[in-house]
Amino acid sequence: MDYYFSHIYFIGIGGIGMSNLARYFKAKGKCVAGYDRTRTTLTKELEDEGILIHYNEDVAAIPAGFLNPEKTLVVRTPAVPKEHAELRLFIEKEFKVLKRAEVLGLISRECKGLCVAGTHGKTTTSMMMAHLLKQSHVDCSAFLGGISNNYKTNLLLTDANDLTVIEADEYDRSFHQLLPWMSVITSVDADHLDIYGTHEAYLESFAHFTELIRPGGCLIIKKGLPLNCRLQPGVRLFTYSVTSTADFYAKNIRFEPGRLFFDYYMPDGCLLNLELGVPVRVNVENAVAAMAIAHLNGVTDQEIRSGLASFKGTKRRFDIQVKRDDFVYIDDYAHHPEELRASIRSIRELFPGKKVTGIFQPHLYTRTRDFADDFADVLSGLDDLILLDIYPARELPIPGVTSEMILDKVTLASKTVTSLDKIFDVLDTKKPEVLVTLGAGNIDNLVPVLKKRYEV
């Protein structure tokens, strides 16, 4: 996308999706700057890359070169309220202001977008897909919803072709802005009910997404999803599975100490005894979808095999931080009940018989309210639960909605609620064999501290 704008200003530049767009425009030779509420490791990296960032909501802090509406495009995240002082200024001065999703949608019209949607699994699936393509003779660009452990970034670029992996976010119906060439839908469990209201409306949003796939492209959907796909003429439909036969499917999933292998079947053959670089059962399902897209775009069997084995995962997606014979520490972004269920199950499979202590930070008041029973059920599968206060993100408190809503329903004998600043006082009373931090809020601030604490 080659706008006539020479300057791009981001409001909420530190978000994972906003930051990869900032890096994209910087790589295209634009002047890039922005605001974010909090300085993080990611915003520090952006600053080191030459992007100007400030952290106080102040119109006087906007660099002078970005105050010309004829030169500057403003990109905002939906998490920033309309009352934000800088956003108000840009709107009043009649700057061109676009949501992140709108900008990504414009980019998708100029490339062959390989778009991954779903309630969960989309970040890991798109990350795997990008790696399989990138390390092969095919290559790709990618706008990733996490930091790749292989490439240490959330943006990949190439001049070799116009294949571009894009994580298609359903929040705020953002993925309706995209024009995909090929798409994957991993799951449609209810989420974001503050936006959609009902699961039926959520499903309808995904159905509309399937209409956007370009003729000549394809949709790869997890077999059995309750979704009414509405494909344009000329769009091919494939299914994938790890539990039954499909167009693309896995069989014979098996674990060895710290390793995972499986057999992969596709319409024109099979690959036996594949090793998965991140040995987590749920990643087999993600891998099947990613391999299907790679296969359809010409990645060879040997490239698929080597790429899968060399995949190192995503920062904060079942990310093993410390691994000793007597202790393991894992960090995971899981924040939906089904994601938590998959994470805990994977821990039990990889480390059978070990005492598992989980630190979980609920994300959003609405999600806590809507899924309190489900959270309690799945967290009861731990041996020991430390529950943090709710991380509000973009929301204001809801009366009566607290972490205690979950805690009271958890059936564990060992459970407690604490705040982030008191977590180490609680941990000092525990003797975890496997420790896992779970959640999508600022619980990630604990990760480097816990890693240093438990490394020997």
Residue 422 is assigned to a structural domain of this protein: yes
Q: What CATH number is attached to the domain comprising 325?
A: 3.90.190.20
Assessment of whether the complete model's pTM goes beyond 0.75:
yes
Confidence class of residue 455 from pLDDT cuts 50, 70 and 90? confident
Tell whether 349 and 395 lie within a shared domain. yes
Q: What CATH number is attached to the domain comprising 279?
A: 3.40.1190.10
DSSP secondary structure letter of residue 331: E
Collapsing DSSP to helix, strand or coil, 360 comes out as strand
Report the C-alpha gap between 269 and 24 in whole angstroms. Answer: 38
Contacts of 35 (CB under 8 A, 6+ apart): 10, 11, 12, 13, 53, 54, 55, 57, 61, 62, 86
Question: What pLDDT digit, counting tens, does each position of 329-356 carry?
Answer: 999 989 989 889 989 998 998 888 999 9
Report the C-alpha gap between 53 and 112 in whole angstroms. Answer: 31
Residue 139 is assigned to a structural domain of this protein: yes
Single residue among 100, 130, 161 that ends a domain in this structure: 100
Range of the domain at 402: 319-454
Predicted pLDDT at 78: 83
Tell whether 45 and 129 lie within a shared domain. no
pLDDT for 40 beyond 90: no
Question: What pLDDT digit, counting tens, does each position of 360-395 carry?
Answer: 999 999 999 999 999 999 999 999 999 999 999 878
Residue 2 is assigned to a structural domain of this protein: no
Report the C-alpha gap between 326 and 416 in whole angstroms. Answer: 24
Q: Which residue has the higher pLDDT, 140 or 191?
A: 140
Tell whether 182 and 236 lie within a shared domain. yes
Question: What pLDDT digit, counting tens, does each position of 164-176 carry?
Answer: 999 999 988 999 9
Report the C-alpha gap between 257 and 242 in whole angstroms. Answer: 21
Residue 188 is assigned to a structural domain of this protein: yes
Tell whether 198 and 76 lie within a shared domain. no
Tell whether 286 and 168 lie within a shared domain. yes
Predicted pLDDT at 317: 83
Predicted pLDDT at 301: 98
Residue 328 is assigned to a structural domain of this protein: yes
Tell whether 341 and 302 lie within a shared domain. no
Confidence class of residue 259 from pLDDT cuts 50, 70 and 90? confident
Q: What CATH number is attached to the domain comprising 88?
A: 3.40.50.720
Tell whether 129 and 71 lie within a shared domain. no
Report the C-alpha gap between 375 and 368 in whole angstroms. Answer: 8
pLDDT for 6 beyond 90: yes
Which residue's entry shows tokens 């890039």? 32
Report the C-alpha gap between 79 and 207 in whole angstroms. Answer: 25
pLDDT for 180 beyond 90: yes
Q: Rounded to 5 degrees, what angle do the CA atoms 270, 231, 203 make?
A: 95
Question: What pLDDT digit, counting tens, does each position of 77-103 carry?
Answer: 988 888 999 999 999 999 999 999 999
Single residue among 75, 100, 125 that ends a domain in this structure: 100
Number of domains present in the structure of the chain: 3
Tell whether 245 and 376 lie within a shared domain. no
Question: What pLDDT digit, counting tens, does each position of 214-258 carry?
Answer: 999 999 999 999 999 999 999 999 999 999 999 999 999 998 877
Tell whether 292 and 326 lie within a shared domain. no
Report the C-alpha gap between 118 and 121 in whole angstroms. Answer: 7
Tell whether 283 and 186 lie within a shared domain. yes
Confidence class of residue 1 from pLDDT cuts 50, 70 and 90? low
Helix segments in 109-228, DSSP class H:
122-134, 193-196, 199-211
Single residue among 74, 100, 126 that ends a domain in this structure: 100
Tell whether 118 and 216 lie within a shared domain. yes
DSSP string, 407-447: HTT---SSEEEE-GGGHHHHHTT---SEEEEE-SSGGGGHH
Alpha-carbon torsion (244, 248, 252, 253), positive or negative: negative
Confidence class of residue 315 from pLDDT cuts 50, 70 and 90? confident
Residue 76 is assigned to a structural domain of this protein: yes
* CA-to-CA dists, residue 91 to 82, 97, 106, 155, 175, angstroms: 10, 7, 21, 29, 24
DSSP secondary structure letter of residue 174: G
Predicted pLDDT at 316: 83
One-letter amino acid identity for 8?
Answer: I
Report the C-alpha gap between 6 and 389 in whole angstroms. Answer: 43
Confidence class of residue 3 from pLDDT cuts 50, 70 and 90? low
* Mean pLDDT for the chain overall: 94
Residue 375 is assigned to a structural domain of this protein: yes
Tell whether 302 and 341 lie within a shared domain. no
Residue 106 is assigned to a structural domain of this protein: no
